[in-house]
Structure 1
Amino acid sequence: MNDSNMSDNIETYLKQILQQAHEIEIRRVELAQRFNVVPSQINYVIKTRFNTENGYLVESKRGGGGYIRIVKMALRNEPRLIEEIKQQLPKIVSFRTATSVVSSLCREQILTVHESELILTLLSKETLSVGDVTVQGQLRARLLQQLLSRLRFESERN
């Protein structure tokens, strides 16, 4: 089985557990043994698939009693979590990162599927094509920042 499929399997396993509990605490070494992979593979999955832009908070403690805690953020009722996503956004945002953020907002029913598609159209490479990839990423970051600010404001009013 290739690494991509194994990463998908690890992600699926963790998400199944998260469906039953709002947060999970795992030991990296034990999870690596379960899937017969090196611990760095677990780190890769956590870093790329369970990050703030995907709607998760991750906390880790290293050492003998170390663990990784993954918390599924409830964006809908928590304006501070929208602010957390906003704070985590880099100054230059790729379309892939933008898609992750917008997908999380849609999954949490903060945005409708239609709204998400419209926003992603506005954040696309084609729309923001200004001849400079860095400027394109900066524009995308500013647009996402504004969207998150507005959503945060709306969630505080509700």
Structure 2
Amino acid sequence: MRNISDIIEAHLKMILEEAKHNHVEIKRSELADQFSCVPSQINYVINTRFTKELGYLVESKRGGGGYIRIQRAVENDQNILLDELISLIKPHVSQSVSEAVLTRLVEADFITLREAKLMKAAIDRETLRFKLPYRDEIRARILSAMLTTLKYHEDL
């Protein structure tokens, strides 16, 4: 059985797919009422499942008429996407952020799931058995090199 965070995430993604303007505006309290949860649960879902690394822009307006706007970032050029991701991961990157980057590349049909699994294995904390912060720096260098290779792919 899926947890409430998964259900809220799926609902928001469905609304985003149906949106005409590639964004959705929601009221945190209304969504919390809809799912019988506290507003902080909505915050958690938005802060963890709709991040920049995953390709979302989130804007929040506080107050009585406040809202949260979630917009899916759309890159028309794959090189722009790769440049953005490279700048996000330098000079260091955590495992969770690097996995989000790979998820974004798979969702954008830029790499296959198999390629993502290979890349994940290369940058996994079990593979990179170094102490922090060196591990995150080495992970960033490896992932950056992979993304740069994707950007300038040529035959072997």
TM-score interval, normalised by the smaller of the two chains: 0.7 to 0.9
| Correspondence for 1:48 | 48
SS at match of 1:105: helix
Task: Name structure 1 gaps, 5 residues minimum.
Answer: none
- Give, in whole Å, the separation in 2 of the partners of 1:72 and 1:150: 25
TM norm structure 2? 0.81
- Give, in whole Å, the separation in 2 of the partners of 1:10 and 1:71: 16
1:81 Cα shift? 4.6
Q: Does structure 2 retain, via aligned residues, the 8 Å contact 1:75–1:82?
A: no
Aligned identity (percent) is 43
SS at match of 1:54: coil
1:80 Cα shift? 4.2
Q: Does structure 2 retain, via aligned residues, the 8 Å contact 1:60–1:68?
A: yes
- Give, in whole Å, the separation in 2 of the partners of 1:113 and 1:76: 22
Query: Is 1:135 the counterpart of 2:134 in the alignment?
Result: yes
| Correspondence for 1:14 | 12
SS at match of 1:128: coil
Point out the more displaced range, 40-49 or 136-145.
136-145
| Correspondence for 1:72 | 72
1:70 Cα shift? 0.9
| Correspondence for 2:111 | 111
TM norm structure 1? 0.80
SS at match of 1:69: strand
1:144 Cα shift? 2.8
Report matched runs for 1:88-127 at 5 Å: 88-89=88-89, 91-127=91-127
Q: CA RMSD for the aligned pairs?
A: 2.6
Q: Does structure 1 retain, via aligned residues, the 8 Å contact 2:25–2:67?
A: yes
- Give, in whole Å, the separation in 1 of the partners of 2:69 and 2:84: 17
Q: Relative to structure 1, is the Cα distance of residues 79 and 70 closer, same or farther in structure 2, using a 3 angstrom cutoff?
A: farther
1:43 Cα shift? 0.8
Task: Name structure 2 gaps, 5 residues minimum.
Answer: none
- Give, in whole Å, the separation in 2 of the partners of 1:83 and 1:36: 40
